[in-house]
Structure formats: C-alpha cells, structure tokens
Amino acid sequence: MSNEGRTRLNQLPEWAALGKHREQLGDTHLRELFAADPARGTGFTLRVGDLYLDYSKNLVTDETLALLRELAAATGVAELRDAMFRGDKINNTEHRAVLHTALRAPRGAVVEVDGVDVVPEVHAVLDKMAAFADRVRAGEWTGHTGKPIKNVVNIGIGGSDLGPAMAYEVLRSYTRRDLTFRFVSNVDGADLHEAVRDLDPAETLFIVASKTFTTIETITNATSARDWLLAGLGAGQEAVARHFVALSTNAEKVEEFGIDTANMFEFWDWVGGRYSYDSAIGLSLMIAIGPDAFREMLDGFHLVDEHFRTAAPEENAPLLLGLLGIWYGAFHDAQSHAVLPYSHYLSKFTAYLQQLDMESNGKSVTRDGQPVDWQTGPVVWGTPGTNGQHAYYQLIHQGTKVIPADFIGFARPVADLPAGLVAQHDLLMANFFAQTQALAFGKTPEEVRAEGVPEELVPHKTFQGNHPTTTILADALTPSVLGQLVALYEHKVFVQGAVWNIDSFDQWGVELGKVLAKRIEPVLTEGEGGERLDSSTAGLVAAYRSLRGRD
Ligand SMILES: O=P(O)(O)OC[C@H]1O[C@](O)(CO)[C@@H](O)[C@@H]1O
C-alpha cells in the first residue's frame, strides 16, 4: 500500500492548526484546566472492556483533542486501520499483510490473505498447541528416558522471547507453580548456563522460538542446548525429538536443525515478530497458564481489536493514546515516554513495549522513502512504579524534560496473594494515585512558604507540576486484561505510524549490526581482516585479542 502524492504531514493545514493552538495554550497549567472545568476528572475518561482510562491529566483541552482527531482524519488513520484488518499488504517494504488481529479472531470469523481465509489455520495451530500443552501439563509428554517434563526452556530473542517472557511474569499467579519456566535470549553463554545449570536434562523441554529460524543468537543457543541435553543424557541425536519443539514459519530450517516438523508449531509471515506472542510463539506461556487462560487472553486482545476497529474517534482509546503521543512529540518536544506499572507482575511489561514501539516506529523515512522532518517514535522506558519513585522520579518531578507517562494499576491484588500481604495493596495504590496528582498539580512556592520553609529552600521544594500522565486502571490483572493492555498499545503504535506516514511493520534498522558482527567474529577468532576495520574498532579488537592472549 503506497501513498505517493500524499501531502507531507507538516504541510497539512491540520498540522499548522495544531501548531497555532499550541502557541495559544502557551504555559496553561493543569491547575488552570482543572479549575476551569470541575468535571474534567470524570469527563476526560474512557472505558474499554475492563480498562478505565483517565486522560484528564494531559496537557490538552477539548479543542486540542478535536484538532488531533482532525489530523488523524487527514492522514487516513481509519483507512489504514481498515486496510490492516482486511489483510491488505500494508507492510509495504516487505510486501506483507499485517494480521496479528487474525491470531485472536474467534473461530468462524473470516480474514483473508490473498483470497485465503486464515482463521481456520490459526485455530488449527491453537488446537495443536492446546493438545501439546495439555500433555505436558498432565505429565504425559515424557522425555527420552521416560520421565515427565518438569522444566520448559524457551529459546528465542526479540519478539520470540519478550512476549512470552513478559506474559509469563504478568500471569505468574495463573501458572503451574510445580513446573519451571525459563527464557533464554542472550547469545552470552551465561544466559543459557544460568537457565539450565540446576535442571535435569531428562525432565527438560526446549522450545526453540524463531520466526525465521535463522537468527544467529537463537540458533547458537539452541545448538548449545542440544549439546547440553545430549551430554547430560549420554544419548545421541535420537533423544532430540522428545526434548525439542520449534515455533517458526520456516519448516525447512527447522528440519535442518534436526527438529521433527511434527513437533513444529507454525505461524505466518503476516505476523510480525513483535506482534507474535499470541501466535505459536506463546506455546511456553500456554503450557504455563493452560489453554483456557490463553484463550481468555486472546479474547481480551480481540475485545480491544474490535473497539479499535469500530469505536467512534471520540471514544477510541488507541486513537486517543496515539494522538496524545504525537502531540507531545511534535508540539512539546517530548523525546521519551514512560510506562510505569504499579504491579510487580508487570516488571517486564515496559521492556516488551520497548520492542513493540521502538522497533515499529523508530523510523526516519516515510512509507515512500522520503526523509521525515517531524518527530517519530519516542524512547520508551520505565520500571514498576514504586521502585522508580526511589530512583528516577526526581527527574520527572523537578527535571527539565517533558516526559509523558502512563500509570497502570489494578484495584485488586492477584488472587493467590497471601492474606497477610493483601493489606499492602492499598499502600501501593496510594502511591499510584499520589504520583499522578503530584505530577499534575505540583506544589507552588506559596504553598511551600505556607509550610514555614526557609526562603532559600523554597525553589528546591517547589514542584512545577504540569507533567502529563494518563492513568489506566483495571479491576485485576487477569489473562483477558493483559490481552486488552497489549492490544491497546499495539494499536496506539499503529495510529502513530499511520499519522507519521512510516512503515511500522518492518525493522531494517536491526540489519547492519548483524552483518558487521558476522564480519567481526572471524577477526576476533582468527585475527584476520582487521585492516578493513575503522581505526577505533580495529584498536578495540586488537585490545580484545591481546586481553584474550591471542596476539
Ligand atoms: O523470531 P526471529 O526470526 O528469530 O527474530 C527475532 C527478532 O529479531 C528481529 O527480527 C530483529 O531484532 C525482531 O523483529 C524479531 O522479533
């Protein structure tokens, strides 16, 4: 889907109107916006499925939102969205459809790629995954020596790791606590070593997750895992079949590696790596939480897909979140976006969003290859909130940067939290609410003085406030809520890519480093070819070789 001839974003009248509006708003403070509209705190909210979204503490007025929606209309967000759901090849540099939404379509829905309905295939793989997961969970899938599987090690990287690893943490309270799950991604041998050192190979299943099955980190780790297994069992290649399964789009490479393709769970080139954990890539998660909870998660995704597809612009949560990000990047010069969950279980959520957002929208040319001269994707960062409060929140409160932040919290702690610890939840959530309040309203010099603070300390104890936040509150962290949250962010990223007119579904930016690493490896090991390197890299490589005693 090309869009040649489209007016450049920053030449649209809608863009100019936003610029003018920004000038008019000037330094208008959230304190003023709230004072002017007593209903703002309840009016600037949305409900989507189980998510309650409060966007009132953003630096926007009704007019800002209307202008942003006009920008979305002028840039064809809805048309591109419909093209995505329809299965058009909107990933134009790779000529691929973008259909992660089909992964969570209910049985019986129809989604066509090149005239073929893909939903039956999706459900056939989900059924195969469920049958396998049930066998492992029931102790019926045995290893080479006949022992049931007790340990599951997912080997993958990027989208083939971050999704299942994140979701496993998020849904810990739903997992089989008697089974061990580990996630290996780093080509640093320490990752695999630490993951398997206390495991019995006879009880260990490796899930090799790779869309392409050519990713060097994953194939290297999988090869080492196979060596560890066979050495531990004292067995030959015949032991591999009971201990290795593959998740991939590439049957040929899976077979080449020595994994029986009967033990391969397929997905398709229309699933981007960072959009894939609800495909076969989620097998480790499905074993951990069971097929029913996995289905609930998919239904959560689907609920937000349908919301995004059908909700009016004024009520469309992904559209709103996407447009707010565009507003801050373009008109407030925000360089980053913080995601701050108030749940220990969401400790890997922001790391997951980093790939989703930054690999999707870290682009600087438009869909037809022209350089952009507007901000694209922000730096996404953050860790669970209360820990952040004692680390980097100082900078958010009193530093010089504009850092829009999403606060994510839950009304109820997870169901299996011991009664003695449940009481701590109110304290956690008191912090959650207090922080967005402090960020928005701050503390004026007058308020500080009224506390009797010595004059020389007043500037230090003043909080300027006016720091934008969006609060996402849900009842509890269930599989469905996780699906809803991930889909919300997926579509937010989509909206931004559509407005910025970039291809959010390719990732050419990861290629160069891979090629150079391949070239440098023989220089490290054999010492040949160093003269072709630049002087800095050549010096570093020489130092490395010398430290390793190779020269
Ligand atoms: O699943 P694969 O093919 O091993 O790729 C892993 C990751 O590598 C990338 O292609 C680049 O980092 C990601 O998009 C992808 O999620």
Band (pLDDT 50/70/90 cuts) for residue 4 is low
Which pLDDT does position 72 carry in this prediction? 98
With beta carbons less than 8 A apart as the criterion, state whether 313 and 72 touch. yes
pLDDT digits (tens, 9 = 90+) for 223-280: 999 999 999 999 999 999 999 999 999 999 999 999 999 999 999 999 999 999 999 9
- Report whether pLDDT(551) > 90: no
Residue 212 CA, ligand 1 centroid: distance in Å = 8
Which pLDDT does position 385 carry in this prediction? 87
Is 210 close to ligand 1, i.e. is its CB under 6 Å away? yes
* CA–CA separation, 38 and 58 (whole Å): 15
17-86+298-500 and 132-289 agree in CATH topology: yes
pLDDT digits (tens, 9 = 90+) for 36-57: 999 999 999 999 999 999 999 9
Average pLDDT of 462-471?
98
Count other C-beta atoms under 10 Å from residue 64's C-beta.
19
What's the burial of 52, exposed, middle or buried (CB within 10 Å: 0-12/13-18/19+)?
middle
Is 254 close to ligand 1, i.e. is its CB under 6 Å away? no
Average pLDDT of 150-168?
98
Range 132-289: architecture per CATH: 3-Layer(aba) Sandwich (3.40)
CATH topology of domain 17-86+298-500: Rossmann fold (3.40.50)
Active site residue 514: yes
pLDDT digits (tens, 9 = 90+) for 167-176: 999 999 999 9
The span from the first CA to the last CA of the chain, in angstroms, equals 54
| Angle ∠(258,137,230) on CA atoms, nearest 5 | 30
Which pLDDT does position 3 carry in this prediction? 63
Question: How high is the mean pLDDT of the chain?
Answer: 97
With beta carbons less than 8 A apart as the criterion, state whether 139 and 158 touch. no
Active site residue 390: yes
Active site residue 307: no
* CA–CA separation, 521 and 541 (whole Å): 10
Nearest ligand 1 atom, CA 212: 3
Band (pLDDT 50/70/90 cuts) for residue 211 is very high
Active-site annotation holder among 4, 95, 390, 531: 390
Is 469 close to ligand 1, i.e. is its CB under 6 Å away? no
Pocket test for ligand 1, best of 212, 213, 248, 266 (most atoms within 8 A of CB): 212
Average pLDDT of 11-21?
98
pLDDT digits (tens, 9 = 90+) for 82-133: 999 999 999 999 999 999 999 999 999 999 999 999 999 999 999 999 999 9
Band (pLDDT 50/70/90 cuts) for residue 5 is confident
Count other C-beta atoms under 10 Å from residue 465's C-beta.
18
With beta carbons less than 8 A apart as the criterion, state whether 217 and 187 touch. yes
* CA–CA separation, 280 and 266 (whole Å): 6
With beta carbons less than 8 A apart as the criterion, state whether 206 and 212 touch. no
Is 159 close to ligand 1, i.e. is its CB under 6 Å away? yes
Which pLDDT does position 87 carry in this prediction? 96
* CA–CA separation, 83 and 272 (whole Å): 16
Q: What are phi and psi of 18, to 5 degrees?
A: -65, -40
* CA–CA separation, 524 and 505 (whole Å): 34
pTM of the model: 0.97
Count other C-beta atoms under 10 Å from residue 139's C-beta.
13
What's the distance, CA 83 to chain centroid?
23
- Report whether pLDDT(529) > 90: no
510-548: CATH class: mainly alpha
Residue-range domain boundaries for the chain: 17-86+298-500, 132-289, 510-548
For atom 16 of ligand 1, the residue with the nearest CA is 159
pLDDT digits (tens, 9 = 90+) for 505-528: 999 999 999 999 999 999 999 998
Band (pLDDT 50/70/90 cuts) for residue 2 is low
> Smallest Cα–Cα separation from 156: which of 221, 103, 249?
221
Which pLDDT does position 128 carry in this prediction? 98
**437-458 core/surface letters (b: 16 or more CB in 10 A; e: else):** ebbbbbebeeebeeeeeeeeeb
Active-site annotation holder among 169, 296, 359, 490: 359
For atom 11 of ligand 1, the residue with the nearest CA is 510
With beta carbons less than 8 A apart as the criterion, state whether 481 and 50 touch. yes
Cα-based distances in Å from 493 to 195, 232, 321, 361, 362: 33, 45, 9, 7, 11
pLDDT digits (tens, 9 = 90+) for 299-350: 999 999 999 999 999 999 999 999 999 999 999 999 999 999 999 999 999 9
Residue 211 CA, ligand 1 centroid: distance in Å = 7
Active-site annotation holder among 140, 514, 518, 521: 514
- Residue 406's identity, in one-letter code, is D
Is 216 close to ligand 1, i.e. is its CB under 6 Å away? no
* CA–CA separation, 331 and 10 (whole Å): 12
In the sheet that 405-410 helps form, which strands lie side by side, from edge to edge?
45-48, 51-54, 469-474, 405-410, 336-341, 379-381
pLDDT digits (tens, 9 = 90+) for 197-207: 999 999 999 99
Strands 379-381 vs 180-184: parallel, antiparallel or unpaired:
unpaired
pLDDT digits (tens, 9 = 90+) for 477-507: 999 999 999 999 999 999 999 999 999 999 9
Band (pLDDT 50/70/90 cuts) for residue 1 is low
Q: What are the tokens at 432?
A: 């959650």
